[in-house]
Structure 1
Amino acid sequence: MGCIFRLRRGRTLARPPVPPTPEPRPPGKAAGRAASPPPRPRPRPRQTSPPAPRAPLLAVGRASLRSGQGQTPPSALYGGPIASIYAPLAAKPGRSAAHLLVASSIHHAHQPVLSFFCSFRQSGRPAVPCQPPPLCPCQHSLALRRPSLSAILVSTCPGGKTMSKSEERRTEIALFRYTLIIPLIRGEYSPRGKEKLRQKIAAGHYDIPHSSRRSVSASALARWERLYRERGFDGLKPRSRRDKGQTRAISLDTLDRAEALKREQPFRSARSIINILSLDQTNPVPEEHIAPRTLRRQLSRRGATAAQLLVEQRPKPYRRFERTHFGDLWQGDAMDGPYLPDPANPDRQRQVYLFAFLDDHSRLAPHTQFYWNEQLPRMENCLKRAILRHGRPLAIYVDRAKIYVSKHLDTICATLGIQRILGTPYYPEGRGKIERFFQFVQSDFLPELAQSSVVTLPQLNESLLASIEVVYHRKLHSETGQAPLERFRQDPAPATRPADPEDLRQAFLHRAERKVYQTATISFKGNRYTVPTYLRGKRVELRYDPFDLTRLEVWFNDTFLQLAEPEEIVTTTHPDVEPDPVSAPSPDTGLDYLALLRTERERLLQEQLDTIHFTQLDSSNPKENENDDRSQ
């Protein structure tokens, strides 16, 4: 049974009203009997008050606020600190009552808001609250349970920082001790009754935090009171171990040798270090067994983890870098996107992901697009579209995610003459340009989705493209002093190279080997295809687009033979590639910001088309054109 706290404001308030006496029972057979001597009353060891009727609970986390029916709330009765506690509880049911109570009792000690009610457990009987001490008027109690304290102590740490587990435990124990000595500190006892009150508190049974004991001694209460008067709330916290921060399972000599091995190679694991020390027969370690977890913890305290060592070794200060021309370097990365209604299940929200490539010189985005997942074919599709629009760059700069270190991407880059540069682990500073672009998407584009009619993936991509071309490409960049589109157009010698559409299509095709059956057929991902009969029993190479398995190229000895004829098509996409769900048409809800951007983009495209003279595109001889004009 946990301790029960009563809220009060001062000591001069009246005691709580006595509950009404229950109505007498109707007379029965015993009413007509002769008067008999009353039964001998049982001795009552303590004066107890009848338990109040259960009242509805207002849930506030793990603690709860009891408010009796027909009673005035504490905020109206007492105001002051009581109102400061009751009002937030009623306004925000998710806030812990214990949190507010503790904060008020610790940080507003000059306005006492707590009075102690101990509860004790009799053998074979439920716990009954003791008779309240005098000068305790409030009938609205806050029941503090120990499991709720650990959740609220983290947020009561000075400075708003998160406590460590050991400090949280010490604070929880100190809080429990503080609740026991409140009557002793406030002087809530009769003259020469302090020792009697101390014995009364010590006779109770409590749920003591982090302890199997159920009671405390009177001498402990006296010691806690003395420590609180001398050192305040911190005096109630248990003392820390004298050897705190020192290792007992590993000797200092062994730990020094382990630290030297870690600093020699920062990526060396704790298990490898233990194996090296155990195999070194020239200087054996005294420990028979060293737990890797213990060694990792001690190395972390010494600042010898891989991340800490790399921070010390990385060169500082960093220098800004920027390529000379458009297409010298494209930075690529992915970002988590918003949630959209799943076309396959409209009642379910599904997250989309953004792939983007950004030019290092101009900050222009060759192509960005949202997809339903972060798989390799999606990234390849984004890169392919960027090359189709602006040509092949000299190099791309990406991180070491799984999709960027794949062999297929390496093959694509080698085929197209593109250098793939992988970022160094623990060095994110080199990709700051594309992270800044993602910041524009998160701050200027995504917030507008809540007020728009975008509900499908095609609408989202169309709105993103409009936002980039109308806003981002025309906005002045703080670093370059120019808009990305203006800087791109003023580049005298772009480094991008044109790409032949057929060569580009071949470069992005996936490849797989299959053996031809004696029936001159092959099976691939559940589908069956027909091939020439002279290939029976031979292994052929299949080149395919993972998004379209109806078209399968058959190659033999690096020579293209023909397209495989579909015989039985079960699936049109590769199993590793989730097909794009069919989106339902969205309702027409009127104009919004993203719709205006799409309209503006169409207007800009039309202006560009109006400046092009299509009749002169194929004119190789001006005289012939003049003759054609005259003939018309």
Structure 2
Amino acid sequence: MNKIASSDENPRETRALARFAAVQAVVQARQNGSTLTQALHHAAQQTWDGRLYSPATIEDWVYRYQHGQFAALQNQPRRDRGQHRALDPAALEALCKLRREHPLLTVKALTGELVRLGVLTPGTFSASTLHRRLTQAGLDRQSLRAGSGLVGGPTKAFELPLPNLLWMADCMHGPSLRTEGDATQRTFLFALIDDCSRLCVHGQFYAYERLEGFLDTLRQAIQTRGLPDKIYTDNGAAFRSQHLGIVCANLGLRLLHCKPYHSWSKGKIERFFLTVQTQFQPTLLFEPVRSLDALNRRFWQWLETAYHQREHGALAGESPAQRFARLGTALRLLAPNVELDRLFLMRVQRRVRKDATFSLGGEFWEVSPHLRGQIVTVHFEPIAYRRVEIWIGERLIGQAIRCHKQRSSQILSSNDYDHDTF
């Protein structure tokens, strides 16, 4: 097996996402009339990635984001990354374990016990190194006192005044299809609803309830309806991915999650799903569809000709399409130099095999022979794998292609076999 690790485990990007959330909180407070000082002090009272930060630190993040966007919030990797460090990993693990068992002990007391046990050797470590490692693990005393704060959803009815200020996202189980081969196929509907107009900016049925389905839905919504300020979701696995957070941060979108067991705070999209179930799905009983593509074509036709054009009870006599068109005169559009498809590519690490291939999506892919044995990062479009890029660090190496073993067998070189001996 040549799978290494997913980019969802990148701690550098995790820290950058926490900083981005703090920056967005400051920006939101400034828009609501607070001074910069007030906004910074309010943000400093909240936990970000389970820790408290000073107003000065958060202010530094704000200015870094203004000058370099999301990339500026990521710490650059150390030049000695991958080299031997002073503190042994086993000693670090023992230190963290002891801190969890005795959170009230000082670092001096903890290290004294580890020296007594023979885990640490006097003179091979410094107190500042131990403090830094505990802080990185979220086990410093300040973080332990702060606990893990939750940012939840609204508890009162609300409605945003303009389109694209807030999109609500969710997934529901769709109808089961009887395919041409008489097999049963389950379906899942990912949808995004504009809070102001109730317009479904994009919805699509998929054969699975996974992150790649929601990413595809979000990408198409942005292409057709512009950029939202915020996206509000529940805590489902498809919405809790670090990759989704990075996509939103690179686009300047704020990703919000409702509190667990508070699905009622997303009442608008729940009501939309009820409309789909009671008005769209019954039409399939009279004219059944046999494929996912046919189901989506019927759904999009119903959206544009029925749901979007019909007066909505919460819109004072307007339809979703009318409200969106009337108020959506200053939508935030994607910058011309932004390559949207590339931002949505998923990433995994793979080790290239000796035959210059690697596995992805249940298939083998070919790369240049000079990459054999190396660990590469694969950026790929996960729906149809139309784009599979090979990266090493921050450098694009090239495209991978599907492996065709029969074709490859026709172009063997003399290096691939021993000379015949008779």
Shorter-normalised TM range: 0.5 to 0.7
Cα distance in 2, alignment partners of residues 448 and 569 from structure 1 = 46
Secondary structure in 2 matching 1:355: strand
Matches within 5 A, 1:583-598: none
Cα distance in 1, alignment partners of residues 328 and 283 from structure 2 = 37
Do the aligned partners of residues 315 and 328 (structure 1) sit closer, same or farther apart at CA in structure 2, a change above 3 Å counting?
Answer: closer
Cα distance in 2, alignment partners of residues 427 and 563 from structure 1 = 44
Residue aligning to 2:325: 489
Cα distance in 2, alignment partners of residues 568 and 515 from structure 1 = 19
How large is the Cα RMSD of the aligned pairs? 2.6
Secondary structure in 2 matching 1:338: coil
Please point out which of 176, 179, 182 is paired with 1:339: 176
Residue aligning to 1:378: 213
Cα distance in 1, alignment partners of residues 201 and 301 from structure 2 = 13
- Which one has the largest radius of gyration? 1
Q: Give unmatched runs, 5+ long, in structure 1.
A: 1-313, 571-632
Structure 1 residue 510 corresponds to structure 2 residue 341: no
Number of aligned residues: 252
Structure 1 residue 471 corresponds to structure 2 residue 306: yes
Cα distance in 1, alignment partners of residues 329 and 400 from structure 2 = 44
Residue aligning to 1:552: 388
Q: Offset of 1:561 from its aligned partner? A: 2.1
Cα distance in 2, alignment partners of residues 564 and 440 from structure 1 = 43
Do the aligned partners of residues 569 and 408 (structure 1) sit closer, same or farther apart at CA in structure 2, a change above 3 Å counting?
Answer: farther
Q: Offset of 1:350 from its aligned partner? A: 2.7
Cα distance in 2, alignment partners of residues 499 and 447 from structure 1 = 41
Per-residue CA distance 1:210-256 (angstroms, 9 max, x = gap): xxxxxxxxxxxxxxxxxxxxxxxxxxxxxxxxxxxxxxxxxxxxxxx
Please point out which of 355, 358, 368 is paired with 1:523: 358
Cα distance in 2, alignment partners of residues 524 and 351 from structure 1 = 27
Q: Offset of 1:429 from its aligned partner? A: 2.3
Matches within 5 A, 1:69-218: none
Secondary structure in 2 matching 1:357: strand
Structure 1 residue 563 corresponds to structure 2 residue 377: no
Cα distance in 2, alignment partners of residues 315 and 557 from structure 1 = 38
Cα distance in 2, alignment partners of residues 466 and 552 from structure 1 = 32
Q: Offset of 1:366 from its aligned partner? A: 0.7
Cα distance in 2, alignment partners of residues 432 and 477 from structure 1 = 15
Residue aligning to 1:30: none
Cα distance in 1, alignment partners of residues 331 and 325 from structure 2 = 13
Cα distance in 1, alignment partners of residues 405 and 221 from structure 2 = 31
Cα pair 1:550 1:566 within 8 Å, conserved: no
Cα pair 1:360 1:433 within 8 Å, conserved: yes
Q: Offset of 1:432 from its aligned partner? A: 0.5
Do the aligned partners of residues 493 and 529 (structure 1) sit closer, same or farther apart at CA in structure 2, a change above 3 Å counting?
Answer: same
Do the aligned partners of residues 569 and 406 (structure 1) sit closer, same or farther apart at CA in structure 2, a change above 3 Å counting?
Answer: farther
Residue aligning to 2:233: 398
Secondary structure in 2 matching 1:392: coil
Q: Offset of 1:498 from its aligned partner? A: 2.1
Cα distance in 2, alignment partners of residues 517 and 359 from structure 1 = 46
Please point out which of 375, 391, 396 is paired with 1:539: 375
Q: Offset of 1:539 from its aligned partner? A: 2.5
Residue aligning to 2:189: 354
Cα distance in 2, alignment partners of residues 315 and 420 from structure 1 = 12
Question: What is the letter of the counterpart of residue 419 of structure 1?
Answer: R
Cα distance in 2, alignment partners of residues 499 and 462 from structure 1 = 30
Q: Which runs of 4+ in 1 moved over 6 A?
A: none
Cα pair 1:553 1:560 within 8 Å, conserved: yes
Per-residue CA distance 1:96-115 (angstroms, 9 max, x = gap): xxxxxxxxxxxxxxxxxxxx
Q: Offset of 1:329 from its aligned partner? A: 0.7
Cα pair 2:166 2:228 within 8 Å, conserved: yes
Question: What is the letter of the counterpart of residue 340 of structure 2?
Answer: L
Residue aligning to 2:271: 436
Matches within 5 A, 1:421-432: 421-432=256-267
Cα distance in 2, alignment partners of residues 421 and 558 from structure 1 = 29
Cα pair 1:364 1:473 within 8 Å, conserved: yes
Cα pair 1:527 1:569 within 8 Å, conserved: no
Question: What is the letter of the counterpart of residue 159 of structure 2?
Answer: E
Question: What is the letter of the counterpart of residue 325 of structure 1?
Answer: L
Question: What is the letter of the counterpart of residue 511 of structure 1?
Answer: R
Cα pair 2:188 2:209 within 8 Å, conserved: yes
Please point out which of 198, 202, 205 is paired with 1:367: 202
Please point out which of 203, 206, 223 is paired with 1:388: 223
TM norm structure 1? 0.37
Cα pair 1:550 1:569 within 8 Å, conserved: no
Matches within 5 A, 1:570-581: none
Cα pair 1:325 1:494 within 8 Å, conserved: no
Do the aligned partners of residues 549 and 470 (structure 1) sit closer, same or farther apart at CA in structure 2, a change above 3 Å counting?
Answer: closer
Cα distance in 2, alignment partners of residues 387 and 492 from structure 1 = 14
Per-residue CA distance 1:430-467 (angstroms, 9 max, x = gap): 10101111121111111121112433322221111111
Cα pair 1:325 1:495 within 8 Å, conserved: no
Do the aligned partners of residues 488 and 561 (structure 1) sit closer, same or farther apart at CA in structure 2, a change above 3 Å counting?
Answer: same
Cα distance in 2, alignment partners of residues 518 and 338 from structure 1 = 45
Per-residue CA distance 1:33-79 (angstroms, 9 max, x = gap): xxxxxxxxxxxxxxxxxxxxxxxxxxxxxxxxxxxxxxxxxxxxxxx
Question: What is the letter of the counterpart of residue 240 of structure 2?
Answer: V
Q: Offset of 1:333 from its aligned partner? A: 0.7
Q: Offset of 1:389 from its aligned partner? A: 0.9
Cα distance in 2, alignment partners of residues 421 and 448 from structure 1 = 34
Secondary structure in 2 matching 1:524: strand
TM norm structure 2? 0.55
Residue aligning to 1:450: 285
Question: What is the letter of the counterpart of residue 343 of structure 2?
Answer: A
Structure 1 residue 418 corresponds to structure 2 residue 253: yes
Q: Offset of 1:502 from its aligned partner? A: 6.3
Do the aligned partners of residues 559 and 321 (structure 1) sit closer, same or farther apart at CA in structure 2, a change above 3 Å counting?
Answer: same
Q: Offset of 1:484 from its aligned partner? A: 0.7
Higher relative contact order (CA 8 A, sep 6+): 2
Q: Offset of 1:479 from its aligned partner? A: 1.4
Cα pair 1:528 1:569 within 8 Å, conserved: no
Q: Give unmatched runs, 5+ long, in structure 2.
A: 1-151, 407-422
Question: What is the letter of the counterpart of residue 298 of structure 2?
Answer: S
Secondary structure in 2 matching 1:434: helix
Q: Offset of 1:490 from its aligned partner? A: 0.7
Do the aligned partners of residues 515 and 444 (structure 1) sit closer, same or farther apart at CA in structure 2, a change above 3 Å counting?
Answer: closer
Structure 1 residue 328 corresponds to structure 2 residue 165: yes
Do the aligned partners of residues 449 and 528 (structure 1) sit closer, same or farther apart at CA in structure 2, a change above 3 Å counting?
Answer: closer
Cα distance in 2, alignment partners of residues 391 and 486 from structure 1 = 17
Secondary structure in 2 matching 1:490: helix
Q: Offset of 1:319 from its aligned partner? A: 2.7
Per-residue CA distance 1:275-314 (angstroms, 9 max, x = gap): xxxxxxxxxxxxxxxxxxxxxxxxxxxxxxxxxxxxxxx9
Question: What is the letter of the counterpart of residue 411 of structure 1?
Answer: I
Cα pair 1:328 1:495 within 8 Å, conserved: no
Cα pair 1:330 1:359 within 8 Å, conserved: yes
Q: Offset of 1:405 from its aligned partner? A: 0.4
Question: What is the letter of the counterpart of residue 398 of structure 1?
Answer: T
Cα distance in 1, alignment partners of residues 335 and 310 from structure 2 = 29
